[in-house]
């Protein structure tokens, strides 16, 4: 474990010297915090939704079943904000992909991989260090932005009932458990790709594919095909724990020190 943290600290001190990387880590959390809070801010004072009710009456009535005891206006705010909750779930997996995909191929390109592999570090420690170094900042940035979003919602929503409905135990488990697990899965896959390709650009291109299943989750939620409930969340959590373990196992097995050193040019 000690060697993993040594590697994580080195990665951070290296990566965060790069302003572009800092920007890429902070941009998404920032933008997805500002947008929903901006919407809430713009809705302040607009409590009369009779026009909306008259135009979208039947649809709103259907949606109200999702809103429980909320009023029509509270429900509107809740439904808007709920779409952003999925983004907070996805963010920890999307943000670190670039860093993780560069992790091994980057070391190879800068000729630092051979001296690194010559140390007594094991393959498991190396990959875990690389994965955690990419995942932790993304998870922290996502959680911090979520907390800002939650605080902002509590302040700007039309009533505390919106926040209470939004930050249900179900969504909290999603953000605080599924998000980090999703992040670990994303970075493990990206690190695995990084150790199998010999070009950073190819690594990045392939690693972007990691985002696709997560994007499907978002589209599913947005289109109403997928409704996050307790059972689905439990299923996703268990599946992610298994996927994370499997990915770390396969990443270690697929990491061929010899071919990386001798065949990559």
Partner 1 sequence: MDSKIPAHDTMIATRRLTKRFGKVAAVEDLDLEIRAGEVFGLLGPNGAGKTTTIRMLCALIAPSSGEAWVAGYRLGRDDTQLRKTVGILTETPGLYEQLSAERNLSFFAQLYEVEKVDQQVQRYLTMLGLWGRRHEAVGTFSKGMRQKLAIARALLHEPLVLFLDEPTSGLDPEAALVVRDFILELSREGRTIMLCTHNLDEADRLCDRVAVFKTRLLAQDSPTNLRRKLFGRAVVFHLAQVDSAFIAALRQKSYVQGVETVDNKVVVKLDDPELRNPELVQELVALGAQIQFVGEKRQSLEDVYLQLIGDEVQA
The residues binding partner 1 (CB under 8 A) are 3, 6-7, 10, 13-14, 17-18, 107, 110-122, 257-258, 261-262
Q: What is the three-class DSSP state of 167?
A: coil
Nearer to partner 1, 128 or 163 (CB): 128
CB of 4 to partner 1, least distance (A): 11
Provide DSSP, 57-106: HHHHHHHHHHHTT--HHHHHHHHHHHHHHHHHHHHHHHTTHHHHHHHHHH
Nearer to partner 1, 78 or 102 (CB): 102
Nearer to partner 1, 24 or 71 (CB): 24
Nearer to partner 1, 17 or 65 (CB): 17
CB of 199 to partner 1, least distance (A): 17
Nearer to partner 1, 50 or 111 (CB): 111
CB of 116 to partner 1, least distance (A): 8
72 near 164, Cβ under 8 Å? no
- Integer Rg of the chain from CA: 21
Helix, strand, coil in percent for the chain, rounding step 5 = 80, 0, 20
Say which residue the tokens 């801010």 belong to: 41
Please give the helix or strand (H or E) that residue 140 lies within, else none. helix 123-156
CB of 203 to partner 1, least distance (A): 18
Residues 6+ apart with CB under 8 A from 227: 221
CB of 105 to partner 1, least distance (A): 13
């Amino acid at each position: 474990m000690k060697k993993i943290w040594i590697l994580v600290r080195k990665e951070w001190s290296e990566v965060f010297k790069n302003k572009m990387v800092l920007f890429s880590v902070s941009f998404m959390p920032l933008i997805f915090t500002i947008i929903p809070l901006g919407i809430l801010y713009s809705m302040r004072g607009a409590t009369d939704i009779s026009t909306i009710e008259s135009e979208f009456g039947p649809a709103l009535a259907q949606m109200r079943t999702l809103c429980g005891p909320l009023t029509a206006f509270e429900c509107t705010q809740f439904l808007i904000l709920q779409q952003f909750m999925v983004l907070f779930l996805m963010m920890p997996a999307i943000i670190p992909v670039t860093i993780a995909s560069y992790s091994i191929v980057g070391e190879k390109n800068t000729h630092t991989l051979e001296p690194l592999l010559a140390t007594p570090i094991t393959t498991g420690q190396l990959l875990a260090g690389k994965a955690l170094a990419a995942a932790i900042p993304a998870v922290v940035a996502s959680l911090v932005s979520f907390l800002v979003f939650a605080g902002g919602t509590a302040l700007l929503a039309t009533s505390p009932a919106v926040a209470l409905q939004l930050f249900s135990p179900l969504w909290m488990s999603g953000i605080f458990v599924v998000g980090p697990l999703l992040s670990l899965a994303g970075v493990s896959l990206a690190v695995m790709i990084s150790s199998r390709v010999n070009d950073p650009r190819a690594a990045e291109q392939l690693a972007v594919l990691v985002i696709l299943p997560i994007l499907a989750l978002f589209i599913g939620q947005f289109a109403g095909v997928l409704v996050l409930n307790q059972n689905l969340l439990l299923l996703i959590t268990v599946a992610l724990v298994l996927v994370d373990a499997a990915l770390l196992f396969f990443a270690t097995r697929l990491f061929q020190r010899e071919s990386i050193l001798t065949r990559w040019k």
